[in-house]
Amino acid sequence: MQFPVADELATRFTEAGHQLYLVGGTVRDAMMDRLGNDLDFATDARPERVRELLTGWADAMWDTGIAFGTMGAAKRGATVEITTFRSDAYDRMSRNPEVSFGETIEDDLVRRDFTVNAMAIDMATKKFVDPHDGRGALQRRVLDTPATPQESFADDPLRMMRAVRFVSQLGFTVAPRVLAAIREMAGEIERITAERIQAELSKLLCGRYPRRGIELMVDTGLADHVLPELPEMRLEIDEHHQHKDVYQHSLVVLEQAIDLEEPDTDPDLVLRLAALLHDIGKPPTRKFVEGGGVSFHHHEVVGAKMVRKRLRTLRYSKEIVEDVAQLVYLHLRFHGYGKGEWTDSAVRRYVTDAGPLLTRLHKLVRADCTTRNRRKAAALQRTYDDLEERIARIAADEDLARVRPDLDGNEIMRLLGLPPGPLVGKAWRYLKELRLDRGPLDHDEAIAELRKWAAEENITPPDES
């Protein structure tokens, strides 16, 4: 492995009488031919000494992690983090370790989360250090822990979420003893803050194999504490099979939505969350009807509310919460399209309600088709093709991306003699609804409609004579 920045650091630390090891995920990724520009090191030097050794060499430095023994630096496009050997002790009640510095690399590696992250390279001698057979685990693509999994997860329960995240990102499986420990200790995840759990969940969803990670989270009981709506979607199927397995259907929709993402772009977290959660409103709305049928009336409305509540609990940003909830709310709208019966007004409303989410909504609706009936699936895709073509035609004529009333607020106030206030907003919304229903109006027609509305509201416009 050739990395000049690492060799330069090794020279500085060795000449100063200190050890420096490349460690953790950096070594793992190098062995998997996926090494990036982020390098992790461990050293026997204490944090203040590390700062001294970086001074004059680094292009930039930061010490936000110095309380945990970590200094960060940047050099020629590479980011490095150097952490003093650790031998942390956990009180197993709080969420953070009591930092204690170690003396050897072996002390440091045994406290790491998984054996594939417990390998190191001595930067002075290039000797490979692997006391827990991380290389063997990497070759077998298995996640195991250096200590017993019970000790590891008791120290930091977030490691259980990291396990399912690595399954998603790397396609690994978990060792039987790790699987058993997660099942036994899943409830311990409640010791962890929502923000840290959310970060792992997001990385899981943006991995290459998110279905595997989600299934592991559900099967071990972790989802009961992190995202309980998922296991609740495993509805018992009635003897007549009047509806799909909602949980399995949602996993397929997730995979199909991922297939529709643009190539060579970052994973779309909002789309993936919406695909996974689009039907979470089904369990509380399921009703059996006479004749053996089943209904889920308004599950999109209920689901949108549930999404908002859960994602807020997980401390997602307001933008992500609202975007995912809106996609869940709109995902059924297309099914009213039939064979093209929508009026142009309905098409405009579909586009306007989706707003900047329209492209994602297209993908979600297409992904939501999981029928095994090829003829039915093809018909649904053709129908959606037709809807997209209609949207394009109308958009070309009317600039649907920016549907606004034909009169702006200033003109409304001038024509009606109104000061800024609620009545202006009410008039603006009336004209926007009219615009959606009838398309663009010419200026005189818009003024006539505004005056007609004002008369119905008992608003007397000023005399313009």
Instruction: Record the pTM.
Output: 0.81
Q: Cβ contacts of residue 244 below 8 Å, gap of 6+?
A: 370
Looking at the 3D structure of the chain, how many domains does it have? Answer: 4
Per the CB < 8 A criterion, the answer to whether 35 and 29 are in contact is: yes
Lookup: tokens for 407: 């009169």
Distances, alpha carbon 165 to alpha carbons 158, 169, 210, 217, 273, in Å: 11, 6, 8, 9, 15
d(CA 82, CA 347): 56
d(CA 295, CA 289): 7
Domain identity same for 15 and 123? yes
d(CA 357, CA 239): 38
d(CA 435, CA 412): 15
Nearest to 427, CA basis, from 451, 445, 443, 444: 451
Let me know if residue 252 belongs to a domain: no
Lookup: tokens for 25: 């995920």
Boundary (domain end) residue, out of 139, 166, 199: 139
Residue tagged 């250096």 (tokens):
146
Domain identity same for 312 and 423? no
Q: How far is CA 405 from the centre of its chain?
A: 35
Let me know if residue 98 belongs to a domain: yes
Per DSSP, the three-state class of 174 is strand
Per-residue pLDDT of the chain (465 residues; tens, 9 = 90+): 557 899 999 999 999 999 999 999 999 999 998 888 899 999 999 999 999 999 999 999 999 988 889 999 999 999 999 999 987 555 556 555 566 788 899 999 998 999 999 999 999 999 999 999 999 999 999 999 999 999 999 989 999 999 999 999 999 999 999 999 999 999 999 999 999 999 999 999 999 999 999 999 999 999 999 999 999 998 755 444 455 689 999 999 999 999 999 998 999 999 999 999 999 999 888 887 776 677 788 899 999 999 999 999 999 999 999 999 999 999 998 887 777 778 888 888 888 889 899 999 999 999 998 888 888 888 888 888 888 888 888 777 655 555 666 678 888 888 888 888 888 888 888 887 877 777 777 788 888 888 888 888 888 877 654
Let me know if residue 96 belongs to a domain: yes
Lookup: tokens for 297: 């009336």
d(CA 259, CA 20): 43
CATH number where 13 lies: 3.30.460.10
d(CA 386, CA 339): 9
Helix and strand counts by DSSP (H, E) for the chain: 23, 11
Nearest to 10, CA basis, from 46, 57, 65: 57
d(CA 17, CA 29): 28
Residue 424 CB neighbour total at 10 angstroms: 16
Q: Cβ contacts of residue 124 below 8 Å, gap of 6+?
A: 10, 13, 14, 19, 20
pLDDT for residue 89: 57
Let me know if residue 245 belongs to a domain: no
Sheet holding 120-122, edge to edge: 60-62, 70-75, 78-84, 38-43, 20-23, 120-122, 128-129
Domain identity same for 267 and 398? yes
Per the CB < 8 A criterion, the answer to whether 366 and 397 are in contact is: no
Residue tagged 């933008």 (tokens):
319
pLDDT for residue 398: 59
Per the CB < 8 A criterion, the answer to whether 207 and 168 are in contact is: yes
Give me the torsion for CA of 207, 213, 214, 220, rounded to 10°. -160
Boundary (domain end) residue, out of 139, 171, 196: 139
pLDDT for residue 452: 86
pLDDT for residue 379: 85
Backbone angles phi, psi at 294, to 5 degrees: -145, 145
Backbone angles phi, psi at 164, to 5 degrees: -70, -30
- What number of residues does the chain have? 465
Let me know if residue 238 belongs to a domain: no
Domain identity same for 11 and 109? yes
Q: Cβ contacts of residue 441 below 8 Å, gap of 6+?
A: 406, 434, 435, 449
CATH number where 146 lies: 1.10.110.30
Nearest to 330, CA basis, from 363, 365, 356, 306: 365
Domain identity same for 278 and 361? yes
Per the CB < 8 A criterion, the answer to whether 188 and 154 are in contact is: yes
d(CA 166, CA 135): 16
Domain identity same for 415 and 285? no
Rg of the chain taking only CA atoms, in angstroms = 29
Per the CB < 8 A criterion, the answer to whether 120 and 21 are in contact is: yes
Domain identity same for 263 and 398? yes
Boundary (domain end) residue, out of 100, 117, 139: 139
Domain identity same for 385 and 295? yes
Let me know if residue 207 belongs to a domain: yes
d(CA 193, CA 102): 27
Let me know if residue 67 belongs to a domain: yes
Q: Which domain holds residue 164?
A: 141-226
Lookup: tokens for 242: 């009047």
pLDDT for residue 249: 93
Nearest to 226, CA basis, from 158, 139, 308: 158
Let me know if residue 250 belongs to a domain: no
